[in-house]
């Protein structure tokens, strides 16, 4: 099974700053089948990025994804107050699929 390790566990930043979240896979993810989700308490997870770098419908362009193989990055260009949440990476190349443990993006 592919293990996804996200770093850091918690990232404390201020609105307007740039956020860089990392996701490292224990083995290469074929086809860049890697997605990113945003999850706020009491809400449904929200798809941000799929295929490592494709923004989902309606996602602002301050969110961008990059990477391939075993190293992937989610970048949030300028943080808005509504961006503070937990972010998960998720591989879906071949089952079993797994999620990273999450990165909590907190207001500094």
- Tokens found for residue 43: 């809400």
* Among 14, 61, 81, 96, interactor with another protein by CB under 8 A: 96
Phi, psi of 96 (to 5 degrees): -80, 140
Candidate residues 2, 45, 53, 70; the one interacting with another protein per rule CB under 8 A: 45
> Exactly one of 13, 39, 53, 73 binds another protein (CB under 8 A); which one?
39
**Quick check: 90 binds another protein (CB under 8 A)?**
yes
* Bridge partner residues of 11 (DSSP): 105
Count Cβ atoms within 10 A of the Cβ of residue 101 and give its class: 0-12 exposed, 13-18 middle, 19 or more buried: middle
In the set 24, 56, 64, 73, which binds another protein (CB under 8 A)? 56
- What is the DSSP-derived secondary structure letter of residue 30? G
Is the CB of residue 69 less than 8 Å from the CB of residue 48?
no
72 scored as a contact of another protein (CB under 8 A): no
Any contact of residue 59 with another protein (CB under 8 A)?
Answer: no
Residues that bind another protein (CB under 8 A): 1, 33, 35, 37, 39, 44-45, 47, 50-51, 56-57, 86, 88, 90-93, 95-102
């Amino acid at each position: 099974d592919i293990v996804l390790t996200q770093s850091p566990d918690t990232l404390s930043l201020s609105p307007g700053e740039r956020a860089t979240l990392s996701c490292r896979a224990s083995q290469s993810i074929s086809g860049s089948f890697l997605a990113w989700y945003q999850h706020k308490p009491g809400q449904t997870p929200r798809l941000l990025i799929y295929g490592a770098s494709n923004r989902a419908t309606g996602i602002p362009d301050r969110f961008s994804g990059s990477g391939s193989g075993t190293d992937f990055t989610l970048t949030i260009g300028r943080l808005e107050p509504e961006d503070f949440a937990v972010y998960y990476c998720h591989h879906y190349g071949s089952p079993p699929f797994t999620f990273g443990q999450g990165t909590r993006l907190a207001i500094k």
